[in-house]
Structure 1
Amino acid sequence: MSAKLQTIAWFENLNRGDVPKVGGKNASLGEMVRTLAAKGIRVPPGFATTADAYWDYVEANKLRDRMTALLAEWEAGKATLAETGQAIRNIFLKGDWPGETEAAIRAAYRELSKRAGLDEVEVAVRSSATAEDLPDASFAGQQETFLNIKGEAALIDACRRCYASLFTDRAISYRKAKGFDHMKVALSIGVQRMVRSDIGGSGVMFSIDTETGFDKVVLINAAWGLGENVVQGAVDPDEYQVFKPLLADAALKPLIEKKKGAKAIKMIYATGEKPTRNVPTSKAERAAYVLSEPEILDLARWAVIIEAHYGCPMDMEWARDGKTGEMFIVQARPETVQARRGAGVFKSYSINNKGKVLAKGLSIGDAVASGQVCLIESVRDIDQFIDGSILVTQTTDPDWVPIMKRAAAIVTDHGGRTSHAAIVSRELGLPAVVGTGNATELLHSGEEVTISCAEGDEGFVYEGIADYAVRELDVSDLPATRTQVMLNLANPGSAFRWWRMPSDGIGLARMEFVVSNAIRVHPMALVHFDRLKDEAAKAEIAALTAGYDDKTDYFVDKLARGLARLAAAVYPKPVIVRMSDFKTNEYAGLLGGAEFEPDEENPMIGFRGASRYYSPRYREGFSLECKAIRRLRDEMGFTNVVVMIPFCRSVGEADKVLAVMEENGLKRGENGLQVYVMCEIPSNVILAAKFADRFDGFSIGSNDLTQLTLGVDRDSGELADLFDEQDEAVKWMIEKVIAEANKAGAKIGLCGQAPSDHPEFAEFLVKCGIDSMSVSPDSFMEVKRKVAETEAALGLR
């Protein structure tokens, strides 16, 4: 070897400018060791072989001409990809190490062992291509990683296999697709001390929401054992989300999502030919979260530090040592999909005529696709894939990429948001539903289905070909308005889809959506669980609340986190959360609810809204709602949340509700708490001045106000023609309450559908002097423009 060639570089002597020398992965590890250790971030020590060492191996074994010839035969169609890849890997595996290179690797390994205080330290041997981890290409899993390598001989063999893995079939085809010259890409080998995550846990972390590009959250996936199962999607991991802007305050716990994964297997150390193996997890491991809440928050803080240092969204791998409990970052690279997405333009999908749900899992992307299922159970059968069909399989790895790029959509049994299937689907722009659990058992080849990833965090496989429409929304040139235009949002799972929308906040967040979809249990059935008579409901509630010593904590926890996602999406802009407004028949439909609800002839104007909150029938349930709001604001830090009381019939009732709230720690004005009231009953208009003494603002519910002003059941088909929010009497009511609110200095907005359906109604509201209107996301742009036009015509801008 020429004296000028450098064979080995220790991580602490590398930085991110060394990609040509040691590849993206190793350059990044060196950057963190050198610059971020002082900020508390731990990276396992190690060293890298250089690109010079790779080319020296190629030259010493006279491989260059043979590699070039084999690749040329493939390019000319004289050999298959599989034949070419196998032939090149074989010549690498049969090569001999240049003496100086082998000696340098052995010496460095001995030094690493010495630093660890061991005779032979276990190491991870990672591949780092000199063209990888670039902003427009992830190279996810293209080369091999070898874990639990111990001893000099085993290390030298693993290094040789690393070199050979530069020419796996998937790596060759990926470089071809991305336009990289095979003969200009070298491979650096990272040799890094193993973290004993085989008896701990590990996973992947992004400093951005992987599906929407929302830049204020950290997404963490976690599983037991070594991390390869999470990366490859062989396991369904835990998922955590942390809100970044509130992490700086150590007193707050802005953990906004915490989902338990199945975690059916874990990868551990093995002896013999294979250094690792998968084993089933224990029942206790499957039932437990991998990370504690302090650990989740600490990891998220590391993600913020790393992102700030690199100046871009980051994709990181972490590991927790089962012996010491210490956390480590074992990889960090730029995120390659959302970072390139346009800021001002996005698509909105609407689906009609859905068939029944055949399967569901995590949604990847935000698109919809229809087609025929093509079920492929093994990578050996990928030549049977039909172009343009929906690929359904258990899990994917880089060997599947050649057919993934030809699919209309992808569905897998296993995997989380950071699995191979998810990463590649995002990069290819394909909708995918991952972690369904049993799609390969439920779906069959030739079956027509529709894949929907446009409905939030959950992705659905619907029977048949559904009608769907797509609209491209360009919000980059929307005019500013004095009147606030806010969003009506209920589903926490879809909240992040709209973060780029230049709204003034969320004007209506319906608590009952979170209760019915995420909680599903009547709060009084949790308070009085022991007295439930419905044994089937009792068993289901017991299963849902497993892991909670106090079953009411289940309600508070789920409600607080669900609302936190809505609050996070627009923070620090206001989010007006309406306390529960189920009717008695709707409450009765919740698990255990029938035992706590009266039968009513007309629930629409019955025991609902404010009247429930101080009633002995529901007061304990309302206290749980208050507890969730208190946790949301005081413990998590979302002080942008405004509380709103629905269907408050009288000022006396208002006083009772405010008193109960205060008893439960929600005092108007304390810690900036604002309390609004819905204006949906004529009495709210008639006594507006008195209501304004008790509340900070009004939100006009135009549906109920129309119903009660005109005496028309809004659900009656016979009276549909009479139900008109633009009726003269209704408009008089609205104009009157806006004037009274303005006089009293109280905020007033409208959260009904009318401005979305009728642009002229938005014009009427602006002329009346309304402060805000809250509309559905798909009508936001039209309403915003109409408001701007009206303000300009009135000289208000």
Structure 2
Amino acid sequence: MAGTDNKTGRLAIKFEHLLRGDGALVGGKNSSLGEMIQALVSKGVAVPSGFATTSQAYWLYVDHNQLREKIATLTAEWQQGHLTLAETGQTVRRLFLRGTWPPDVEEAIRAGYRELSATAGVKDLSVAVRSSATAEDLPDASFAGQQESFLNITGEGPLLDACRRCYASLFTDRAISYRQTKGFDHTSVALSIGIQRMVRSDAAGSGVMFSIDTESGFDKVVLINAAWGLGENVVQGAVNPDEYQVFKPLLGDTSLVPILEKKLGDKQIKMVYGTKDMPTRNVPTSKAERATFVLSDQEILQLGRWACTIEDHYKCPMDMEWAKDGITGELFIVQARPETVHSRRDAALMKTYKVANKGRVLIKGLSIGDAAVSGRLCLITSAKDIDKFVDNSILVTETTDPDWVPVMKRAAAIITDQGGRTSHAAIVSRELGLPAIVGTGNATYLLHSGQDVTVSCAEGTTGYVYDGISDITTQTVDLTGLPEVRTKVMLNLANPETAFRWWRLPVDGIGLARMEFVVSNAIQVHPMALVRYDTLKDDKAKEEIQS
């Protein structure tokens, strides 16, 4: 849907006046929020209200503080090797943070905030302040996580400070590096700021949702990750979240509950509201929170239906962020962008990996991708030590954020303690085409640098780290060259976990799944231990079964 020309020259625009075609004016994130409010609220999708500053406001700030030529000079010196990336980014960010507001831009932000607060009936409304670059959420460049967001901002003064920091974040080291890799001119990308009413997910939960399976691209499921508190921990991979899978074809029948799988994450921390000086903070979750799913079945199904509605409107697989208000109990979609990995993959080519002569299993986690690789581990626990990384090693760390991207590009594979399928480590690994195993829980405790291992993501949803160098073979099949046959071809699955990986094959269905694999992989309890549970004498075994 195209944007309208009468918005040109305006400095701040309410979301409900924006459309998807306004990306050059307010960036992909904000134009998508406007699109959803205009087209999908009437279909039941709830989106928090807000407004966006425009690219014109950004350029006015840049020119008011005479930054344009300075930015061009500094980035050119970095490209020529006269400055380091860190020196360049730090200098440009300092220029932005020391800048003053053009009076008309400042007044536009203040007026927009006052109106948003008045509409909500709150004097100083708590808002999320999100960056939306004019080159983000493109089909071949998501820019996800490259710029900063600030949550629980209250008051006009703190809002203007957060907006200034958003502008500065256009020149974080990771954003500069990403633009350089993708071939964007640093002086031609502007930044819009989205000021959006906060959803009180600090008192409930939030997370990320994809309208396809993130690993196989299987288009009949919705994948939802959920954790307690504000959503940054899920996005950054700081927690192991709950994971839910919903079967899309049956969502239209309200008498059914087509939830394929629910996995309980340990969710050890949650982000909640803090003080005015520190608006958010992480606190440990309670034992009850760790043992409880964030969402009820009906909430899972509601999000699944919204995912289908959003995907149907945008005509492509979608990556969405959601939040639940703990005060009202309402669910909201707070962001939606096109999925950028499987939408670019050649669906006709299927590459499979087979791992033979495996060593003992050292550790397990969630598999990202479907590849396998052998190599030497390099364990790094802090981003301050990334210069110690050995190229083409297998990176082991607790979690990653956008500052780790330069090292991730040089890795053969990635293993993390924390994170789910929608975490930063998972998303970037997919973009880079690297096998990754996330959410292992204790990889940095059990593994060490210099260790030879095999990382296998080729065996279903569980990823395995094997001791030693295994034999890895690959096979590529062009599905377009397969002839049609009159016989109905049915697929036999030894391991049901691999079902999604074979969905592109031209078969008529699954004819056999091995029950022993269902028991060992999904149920994980011997059937007779369940039959005779009341007579079990092993208290530890009974406790584990109960859990």
Q: What is the TM-score when the length of structure 2 is the normalising length? A: 0.98
2:104 is equivalent to residue 103 of structure 1:
no
User: What is the aligned-residue identity percentage?
Assistant: 70
2:464 is equivalent to residue 460 of structure 1:
yes
2:40 is equivalent to residue 36 of structure 1:
yes
Which moves more between the two structures, 71-80 or 477-486?
477-486
Is the Cα contact below 8 Å between 1:490 and 1:514 reproduced in 2? Answer: no
* Matched residue type, 2:236: Q
2:226 is equivalent to residue 222 of structure 1:
yes
CA RMSD between the two structures: 1.1
Q: SS of the residue aligned with 2:364? A: strand
Distance 1:391 1:66 in 2: 37
Taking the TM superposition and a 5 Å limit, the aligned residue runs for 1:526-537 are 526-532=530-536, 534-535=537-538
Q: SS of the residue aligned with 1:173? A: helix
Q: 1:114 aligns with which of 115, 118, 127?
A: 118
Taking the TM superposition and a 5 Å limit, the aligned residue runs for 1:185-200 are 185-200=189-204
Name the counterpart of 1:609: none
- Aligned-residue offset at 1:505: 1.2
Q: SS of the residue aligned with 2:278? A: coil
Name the counterpart of 1:336: 340
Name the counterpart of 1:539: 540
Change (3 A) 1:506 1:198: same
2:322 is equivalent to residue 318 of structure 1:
yes
2:323 is equivalent to residue 303 of structure 1:
no
Taking the TM superposition and a 5 Å limit, the aligned residue runs for 1:625-644 are none
Q: SS of the residue aligned with 1:476? A: helix
Q: SS of the residue aligned with 1:235? A: coil
Taking the TM superposition and a 5 Å limit, the aligned residue runs for 1:606-617 are none
Taking the TM superposition and a 5 Å limit, the aligned residue runs for 1:711-722 are none
Runs of 4+ in 1 over 6 A off after TM superposition: none
Q: SS of the residue aligned with 2:129? A: strand
Name the counterpart of 1:50: 54
Q: SS of the residue aligned with 1:183? A: coil
5+ residue gaps, structure 2: 1-6
Name the counterpart of 1:85: 89
5+ residue gaps, structure 1: 547-797
Q: SS of the residue aligned with 2:485? A: coil
Distance 2:339 2:245 in 1: 17
- Aligned-residue offset at 1:474: 1.5
Q: SS of the residue aligned with 1:184? A: coil
2:178 is equivalent to residue 174 of structure 1:
yes
Change (3 A) 1:116 1:455: same
Change (3 A) 1:80 1:514: same
Is the Cα contact below 8 Å between 2:496 and 2:513 reproduced in 1? Answer: no
2:451 is equivalent to residue 447 of structure 1:
yes
Distance 2:199 2:464 in 1: 37
Is the Cα contact below 8 Å between 2:496 and 2:514 reproduced in 1? Answer: no
Distance 1:411 1:10 in 2: 42
Distance 1:400 1:34 in 2: 37
Name the counterpart of 1:76: 80
2:217 is equivalent to residue 213 of structure 1:
yes
Distance 1:126 1:490 in 2: 46
Is the Cα contact below 8 Å between 2:370 and 2:458 reproduced in 1? Answer: yes
Is the Cα contact below 8 Å between 2:367 and 2:438 reproduced in 1? Answer: yes
Distance 2:394 2:333 in 1: 36
Q: SS of the residue aligned with 1:147? A: strand
1:283-320 alpha-carbon deviations (Å, 9 max, x no partner): 00000000000000000000000000000000000000
Which structure exhibits the higher relative contact order, with contacts defined as CA atoms closer than 8 Å and separated by 6 or more residues?
2
1:99-138 alpha-carbon deviations (Å, 9 max, x no partner): 0110110011010000101001000000000000001111
Taking the TM superposition and a 5 Å limit, the aligned residue runs for 1:79-478 are 79-478=83-482
Higher radius of gyration, 1 or 2: 1
Distance 2:520 2:215 in 1: 24
Name the counterpart of 2:4: none
Q: SS of the residue aligned with 2:489? A: strand
* Matched residue type, 2:176: I
* Matched residue type, 1:365: G
2:510 is equivalent to residue 506 of structure 1:
yes
Q: 1:480 aligns with which of 481, 484, 502?
A: 484
1:401-459 alpha-carbon deviations (Å, 9 max, x no partner): 00100100000000000000000000000000000111111111111111000000000
- Aligned-residue offset at 1:4: 6.9
Taking the TM superposition and a 5 Å limit, the aligned residue runs for 1:687-698 are none
Q: How many residues align?
A: 541
Q: SS of the residue aligned with 1:348? A: strand
* Matched residue type, 1:382: I
- Aligned-residue offset at 1:527: 4.1
- Aligned-residue offset at 1:544: 2.9
Distance 1:517 1:414 in 2: 21
Q: SS of the residue aligned with 2:187? A: helix
Distance 2:522 2:312 in 1: 34
Distance 2:525 2:364 in 1: 21
Q: SS of the residue aligned with 1:159? A: helix
2:8 is equivalent to residue 8 of structure 1:
no
Is the Cα contact below 8 Å between 2:311 and 2:317 reproduced in 1? Answer: yes
Q: SS of the residue aligned with 2:481? A: coil
Distance 1:107 1:540 in 2: 62
- Aligned-residue offset at 1:509: 1.5
- Aligned-residue offset at 1:524: 4.5
